[in-house]
Structure 1
Amino acid sequence: MTEPRDPQLRSLDARSLRGLAHPLRMQLLRALRQGGPATASMLAERLGESSGATSYHLRQLAAHGFVQDAPERGKGRERWWQAADQGISFDESLLGATDAATRGAADAFLHEVASTHARELATWVGTREDWLPAWAQSTDMSDWTLRLTPERARELIGEVHELLERYRDEDAPGAERVRVHTHAFPISTD
């Protein structure tokens, strides 16, 4: 889950993790990162929530430094929000935290990340015919089973992250935003 150390990424600590680990908060933050600045009402409509709920959770995200005002967008009482960073670096040591609140927040965070990955993949499968044919031949849903030690697994993850960094921010004609999910975890052979 740890992403490369990038100045646009925010490292989670126990306090900020507890402030973020809520499904709607994570959806709001993702919507602002992917869609740019928006109001609580715009986000409520996009996510199928009430504007009261989105407004409350945006304020909670702001209190923990995940979102901030986008003052150049607001007019009058209209409050626009924007993401304060472009991603999160999750420190796996939070999974072994001594306090139950942090362990619970880490668990909720990881479950929401996994659910988001599944939703994004299902959305692609359901809308793949809306894309140019070239995209149908430019996607991947592979899986591999390898025998690795924890050290070799960390090495593999590091090399995959380095490779992905080389492809960041391509601005060529026909370029689209592409989501890349990587998952590496042990499985039982039973």
Structure 2
Amino acid sequence: MSEGLSDPKAMRALAHPARLMILNRLGVEGSATATEVAEIAGITPSAASYHLRMLAKYGFVEDAPPRGDGRERLWKTANAQLSVASLPGDQPDVRDAKVSLMLALRRDANEEADRALAQVERDSAEWRDATRFSRTRIRVDAEEMARLNESIEKLIAPYLARHRDEKDAPSGARVAEVQVNLFPVPKRPVQGLPTEDHDSAR
């Protein structure tokens, strides 16, 4: 299994909301100009150009073949490793950069889920029935959890939007999102009983 990103500068460059949105846009819909990705990220084309150059600096995006008269610069995702995992031997600066990136990815994922939840009732009955928001507690050891993650990745692989062209998908296919979180549940601190029963004083 790949150990994922390890360059602190690259991870800090990626841990930016606009850059994550730009990367998602390029990964799902293909090559685009700075103006086109700016619309998705809600920023100016000049800001989008800056973010694209920063993503290119660390190997996340690259120039795409031109379209039309070739006057506009097109960008596409590069074959860069986008996974991140905390490892026992990580140096403090690497660990801090990984935590920042993982927090940024979680915020982005939560916002995506919130948007989907806000409009789920507007979808067709077919799509509402297929949509799931769930949490499940399991009991596993570390090896079992790692194997479970590998199985989930293999199950999802044939459907990845960046590899599955629209013409290869069934009619009516849409871009959907799978969010997988596998982590050992930390023990909650014991809060103790309140010193006063505020409800009984009313």
TM-score of the alignment, normalized to the shorter chain, above 0.5: yes
Matching residue within 163, 170, 181 for 2:179: 181
1:131 is matched with: 123
Question: How do 1:83-102 residues align onto structure 2 when only pairs under 5 Å count?
Answer: 83-85=77-79, 88-93=82-87, 96-100=89-93, 102=94
Stretch deviating more after TM superposition (157-166 or 83-92): 83-92
Cα deviations across residues 52-106 of structure 1 (Å, max 9, x unaligned)?
221111111112221111232264642121112387232433x752142x32321
CA contact (8 A) 1:36 1:82 kept: yes
CA contact (8 A) 2:31 2:76 kept: yes
Which structure 2 residue ranges, 5 or more long, are not aligned?
A: 189-202
- Check 1:46–1:160 CA distance in 2 against 1; reply closer, same or farther (3 A cut): closer
Stretch deviating more after TM superposition (114-123 or 169-178): 169-178
Which structure 1 residue ranges, 5 or more long, are not aligned?
A: 6-10
Q: Which letter maps to 1:184?
A: L
Matching residue within 16, 21, 24 for 1:27: 21
CA contact (8 A) 1:21 1:106 kept: no
1:122 is matched with: 114
How many residues are treated as equivalent by the alignment?
181
Q: Displacement of 1:172 after TM fit?
A: 1.7
CA–CA distance in structure 2, aligned partners of residues 113 and 90 of structure 1? 10
Question: How do 1:27-66 residues align onto structure 2 when only pairs under 5 Å count?
Answer: 27-66=21-60
- TM superposition score normalised by structure 1: 0.80
CA–CA distance in structure 2, aligned partners of residues 86 and 99 of structure 1? 23
- TM superposition score normalised by structure 2: 0.76
1:141 is matched with: 133
Q: How high is the sequence identity, in percent, across the aligned residues?
A: 32
CA contact (8 A) 1:40 1:54 kept: yes
